[in-house]
Structure 1
């Protein structure tokens, strides 16, 4: 077994965790270079993490491995009926991808990505019970992926999404929640197309089914149906190369409303844990991502981008936003890549989540939560 094969088989052992995100528990971008372009990567694959954005993208990146580390920092604050709390965030999140050009028209690879949200208010004022508020949702996906080039420049991709999930809730005694941690496994599928449809112009299409997780038995008395699945989503991307410039655009639809635990209103009416029981009250998101990449020289690339989306947490459903701080869906991005050698490249990216405060209305009157986050990513890529 050669060195690349050993790395490919070892990749599922990497675990990614997170404690703050942009679009629900999802980051604005996956892959160090995509992060620098506002996440726009459905039609612009650049590394072996491409399968997270569009499985077909792995067909264009060749044999390579990529790893990254993202540091997330910032401050999140909440005020729940006068109970004021804050959390100084500092989280490190790894990412990984590996791809192998098995034949000129076939690639096989794997991408590992992390999702999640959480809060730890430390010495906090109890807001929803008798103890401090602390929450942590971590979801990891390992996506074995294969692509087939059915015509020159046109690729189909298929990913099997194998999921691991852990949930911890603390300080929610008023809702009947235990202070336990629970774990679940899940699975789903992702498919994609990537093709050159005109000189310099690429089109990407992708769809991911829900990742269906097992019941979280320690929390089935509070979570509708006891399950916290990842929602289905679909996206379209365009990328255009013009000399040293690449322009990329993505549209992504995230179907939060199909998952009862996330979509049910807190005032749904049913008992906690039932299919019609209270949830987070999230609505679907429409995400628009724009990115520009400039080849400044043979070795240096510069890039920037922006990600814009609607808030998935309506003001009338703000009661629980303080335990799931996922309400900063607009971000600005910068990045660069330096080609150290023909094989090795180093990438850096910075993302600033535009500050947003959710202020509750109606049944959520008296609740405010939000803040701002900064993310700094460093990535290494090696082509074989």
Structure 2
């Protein structure tokens, strides 16, 4: 590998450095209530963000509107050649979500969930070979999911969402690879999500969801860097879940998910791929497919107060031989511990809170990535308001 190639690879990593990146470029759960249960939600819809977790859940949550905001404080960086470099020049981010659902008749519901992925990374100085500006990048993705959900029988529901996505990307401080600061590049895309929910008994509910790859338009300003000529799609993912009520006031939930990162060339191609930058077989981030397991508990402490807690664990997606590409994309977190509550102000209005600690995780580089060790941890505090009508 020549001297230029590692520099370009480290620059490319800035594209996948979202501060929301706890499971790759995705959070541990969508919606404040799901966040408080470690993300467990496929068989336990609790608000109008449900379509982002399982479209069938919109047939269950009833008439409601939810609006939330999560404050995220990120701590990330990497040890390079024995020296630790902090990537925390910007470490506070705010991520909104929104959901609306309406019951059309006894069987059909229609609604929309809106969620976000990604934010960015920023250094207070140039990184790598001498450049004219400070290093950094910003990646933002917003997904709108118009949804129809249908009760096919008592206790059984299916749902379908059209995922319409927008993303924007900016990279700074990469003049040393012949790319001046380009500013933001934008792209739109689309995908499909399917879901099912079914009650086996009064105590047990199962759920399953499938989300296709969201095919995004090419990021033309960065087509000479990203494999696939500027490809940066949102990956296919699917999962199953179970919810169990051992008592009328206690609900346990668990999910298992699979995220297909390797199917996206710019993300899954190896650091040492033989092709030129931007080619279909060009270098990528080298991420592996990911298995995610989530468990949570919800306790109705009173008529007005619910308490919840949860834990999520994702398999490591960055192999030790691929850490060079993740110099600016330390998407290393695996373990998340969360707690939350719902306080009902009256029959129609509720307040929700959730706190999540994403524990520090480091990947020690080896082989072609020897000496580059990225790490990342987070605090997340989310709040939302829900209205039923």
Q: Report the TM-score, using the length of structure 2 for normalisation.
A: 0.91
Using the TM superposition, give the Cα deviation of residue 20 of structure 1 relative to its aligned residue in structure 2, in angstroms.
Answer: 2.9
Aligned to 2:8: none
SS of the residue 2:141 aligns to? strand
Superposed, 1:356-371 pairs within 5 Å as 356-371=361-376
Aligned to 1:224: 227
SS of the residue 2:93 aligns to? strand
Aligned to 1:326: 331
Using the TM superposition, give the Cα deviation of residue 178 of structure 1 relative to its aligned residue in structure 2, in angstroms.
Answer: 4.5
Aligned to 1:14: none
Render the CA deviation track for 1:116-155: whole Å, top value 9, x for unaligned. 1420012x24226624220111111000000010111100
Aligned to 2:379: 374
Aligned to 1:13: none
Farther-moved stretch of structure 1 (45-54 vs 174-183): 174-183
Using the TM superposition, give the Cα deviation of residue 227 of structure 1 relative to its aligned residue in structure 2, in angstroms.
Answer: 1.1
Q: Is the 8 A contact 1:118 1:323 kept in 2?
A: no
Q: Distance in 1 between matches of 2:218 and 2:366?
A: 32
Q: Is the 8 A contact 1:135 1:324 kept in 2?
A: no
Aligned to 2:33: 33
Render the CA deviation track for 1:170-211: whole Å, top value 9, x for unaligned. 233455554222110000000000010123100101001000
Using the TM superposition, give the Cα deviation of residue 303 of structure 1 relative to its aligned residue in structure 2, in angstroms.
Answer: 0.6
Alignment counterpart, residue 240 of structure 1, candidates 240, 244, 250: 244
Render the CA deviation track for 1:272-300: whole Å, top value 9, x for unaligned. 00000001000000000000000111111
Distance 1:267 1:172, change over 3 A: farther
Q: Report the TM-score, using the length of structure 1 for normalisation.
A: 0.92
Farther-moved stretch of structure 1 (112-121 vs 254-263): 112-121
Superposed, 1:281-360 pairs within 5 Å as 281-360=286-365
Q: Is the 8 A contact 1:18 1:116 kept in 2?
A: yes
Q: Is the 8 A contact 1:128 1:175 kept in 2?
A: no
Using the TM superposition, give the Cα deviation of residue 213 of structure 1 relative to its aligned residue in structure 2, in angstroms.
Answer: 0.6
Render the CA deviation track for 1:317-371: whole Å, top value 9, x for unaligned. 0112232232112110000101110000101000000111222111111112213
Using the TM superposition, give the Cα deviation of residue 80 of structure 1 relative to its aligned residue in structure 2, in angstroms.
Answer: 3.1
Q: Distance in 2 between matches of 1:345 and 1:65?
A: 11
Aligned to 1:43: 43
Distance 1:83 1:241, change over 3 A: closer
Does residue 121 of the first structure (1) align with residue 123 of the second (2)? Answer: yes
Q: Is the 8 A contact 1:79 1:367 kept in 2?
A: yes
Number of matched pairs: 367
Distance 1:18 1:322, change over 3 A: closer
Farther-moved stretch of structure 1 (177-186 vs 28-37): 177-186
Farther-moved stretch of structure 1 (90-99 vs 194-203): 194-203
Gaps of 5+ in 1: 1-16
Superposed, 1:47-66 pairs within 5 Å as 47-66=47-66
Query: Structure 1 residue runs of 4+, over 4 Å off?
Result: 173-178
Distance 1:64 1:22, change over 3 A: same
Using the TM superposition, give the Cα deviation of residue 237 of structure 1 relative to its aligned residue in structure 2, in angstroms.
Answer: 0.3
Farther-moved stretch of structure 1 (374-383 vs 75-84): 75-84
Q: Is the 8 A contact 1:169 1:177 kept in 2?
A: no
Render the CA deviation track for 1:52-77: whole Å, top value 9, x for unaligned. 00000111000100011100013212
Q: Is the 8 A contact 1:155 1:194 kept in 2?
A: yes
Using the TM superposition, give the Cα deviation of residue 84 of structure 1 relative to its aligned residue in structure 2, in angstroms.
Answer: 2.5
Across the aligned residues of Structure 1 and Structure 2, the Cα RMSD in angstroms comes to 1.6
Gaps of 5+ in 2: 1-16
Superposed, 1:88-103 pairs within 5 Å as 88-103=90-105
Q: Distance in 2 between matches of 1:35 and 1:171?
A: 35
Alignment counterpart, residue 209 of structure 1, candidates 206, 209, 212: 212
